[in-house]
Amino acid sequence: MDAKVELETRDEISEDSKWNLSGLYSADDAWQEEFNALEKDWKGYALHQGKLGTSPKALKACLEFDLDISRKLEKLYTYAHLKNDEDKTNTFHQGNFERVVRLATQVSQAGSFIRSEIMAIPETMMNDFLQDKTLASFKFHLERILRYRKHTLSEKEEALLASSQEMARAAREGFDMLDNADLKLGVVKDVDGEDITITQGNLQSLMQNYDRRVRREAFETSSTAYEGHQFTYASLLSSSVKKDLFYARSRNYASVREQALFSENIPVAVYNNLIQSVHQNLPSLYKYFDIRKRLLKLDELHVYDCSVPLVKDIHWHMSYQEASEKISEALKPLGDDYVQTVKKGMLEDGWVDRYENTGKRSGAYSSGCYDSNPFILMNYREDNINSLYTLAHEAGHSMHSYYSKKNQPYLYADYTIFVAEVASTFNEALVTRYLLGQEIDRTMRIYLLCREIDNFRGTLYRQTMFAEFEHLIYQTAESGEPLTGDAFKNIYAKLLKLYFGENVVLDDCLALECFRIPHFYFSFYVYKYATGISAAYALADRVLAGGDRELNDYLNFIKSGGSKYPIDLLKGAGVDMTSPEPVATALEKFSTLVNELEILTA
């Protein structure tokens, strides 16, 4: 097989396998027309500047204008970024994306006076404004803004920071282009001696190959690619950290982490408790690695041995169509409306861009705007069970967005990132429950049990390790220490040793992994995967063990968007994340799964 022709081009992908963006814009010309109109409309900010403190009516008029501009911009941005992600080598869509990012910067700069003027309204007067019926629908929105009084600068300073946003994207965009378009991960020979081009989309499948030679060479070859660019990756990550540090200090935050947590009103104890709880439960993870080493009959367990299924006589194969049907069956506890909506979206309404093509963005995500369907980017592979779970995961995001936008006004439709991973991980929990509830033999049960263990390991343990890495590198930068490539690798290597224990061999090149994690360019995001899985499993247990009330509590949660702070939304659904209980419960579930695996494989 010729490795160069392994991936299809975008034009070769069938239309029914692509997402349908016609609900956003029927053609690029329609997008251009709205883009041109918004380039003129946003200048209307000037009509409101200097008037926000004159009356509740004037303040409302400005807020409504700002929301209207934001909504139009969001629609333009959504289409541009989806088209850009279809094929990173398409310069036309890349250019449109850059244009809308530039427009977003101009809009942000033009509207930057709003927060400053709101903060400048005397507290007594603002309290009167908040009691006025004119602003009733904006009350929570304004209260969230007023929390930022001590972190809001003068009007000129706010405009200056707003104008820097496009420049501030440089490190993240540089990483994105290098990692998805320019980087060549190399070629590996499969078990039949045929060449396979390693891509971001198939690397995980190669790590699950039963042939140890294949997965070792895929690991070493891809690592060599990162080693060849490690100084560039280190420079990009260091620049991203410095950018975050600049903005945090400019706005009078003690640290970047404080700024990140403040935006969602998350107590710092939630972050610290997560890391401490995981540290206390590392022995269960070490035990799992020992079981894996025993079952694979290895003298040494390397990290590239930690993803391969522990049963060799099961070859996973599930078409996209079948995966959609299985997910729909698994989600039945959430009710007919939920199931029929997500099934129709996955199979008929063009929510999903299904398969990998040359130049397509790696990974998966759910995206959209208030005026569109939710859209899911996939790189679906029929030979990888992770694709089934990823589809269910992104469908959870999409349904969270779908229900929020259906039940909330534009102002409160977007939920915060802290709760973003709850609905998605909830769906994964239901998929596992469904699969384990089928008539399966002992071997398949072991296979699925390992998949569930690895899901916990990847989401709860691994993301917590990432969160700890972020905390340490930002502490290093904030203390004035240089963030060199060696500094990044040394910090990461110490965490690898802590989280893998003494019985896993850590190849030197593994420290390079810190350069290939895209989430590090979205500071203090990854911990939310770990808190999300904890909340999700607590809610899943509650819904499955309960009745209509528990189900309605959960559905009301995903209908609530951002109408409350995330901690309060989860409390309303039945989970208190300020308590260590949800994380401890999730870790206990992991330990139970490991013990069951030990018994089944004794």
Active site residues: 394
Inter-CA distances, 471 with 63, 258, 458, 531, Å: 36, 11, 19, 16
Count the helices and strands in the chain (H runs, E runs). 26, 7
- Distance, in Å, from the CA atom of 117 to the CA atom of 145, rounded to the nearest integer, reads 11
**Burial code of 232-250, b = ≥16 C-beta within 10 A, e = fewer?**
bbbebbbbbbebbbebbee
Torsion sign (Cα): 536, 538, 541, 546: negative
**How far is the C-alpha of 289 from the C-alpha of 497, rounded, in Å?**
13
- Taking every pair of Cα atoms in the chain, the longest distance, rounded to a whole number of angstroms, is 77
Token representation of residue 545: 């063990």
CA distance linking residue 600 with residue 579, whole number of Å? 33
List % helix, strand, coil for the chain (3-state, nearest 5): 70, 5, 30
DSSP character string of 509-545: GGGGGGGS-GGGGSTT-THHHHHHHHHHHHHHHHHHH
Contact, 446 vs 311, CB < 8 A?
yes
- b/e 296-313 (16+ beta carbons within 10 angstroms → b): eeeeebbbbbbbbbbbee
Backbone conformation region of residue 2, classed left if phi is above 0, alpha if psi is from -120 to 50, else beta = beta
3-state SS class at 365: strand
C-alpha 325 chain-centroid distance: 25
Q: Kindly compute the dihedral angle of the four CA atoms of residues 285, 213, 386, 495, in this order, to the nearest 10 degrees.
A: 40
301-302 and 504-505 strand pairing: parallel
Report residue 251 CA to chain centroid gap: 26
CA-CA distance, 456 to 583, in Å (whole number)? 11
Alpha-carbon distance of 203 to 386, in angstroms, equals: 12
Residue 480 zone, left/alpha/beta (φ > 0; ψ -120 to 50; rest)? left
Closest CA to 522 of 419, 420, 417: 417
- C-alpha 451/C-alpha 436 separation (Å) is 11
Nearest-angstrom CA–CA distance, 111 and 60: 14
Check if the beta carbon of residue 350 is closer than 8 Å to that of residue 376. no
Burial class (CB in 10 A: 0-12, 13-18, 19+), 531: buried
CA 256 to chain CA centroid, nearest Å: 19
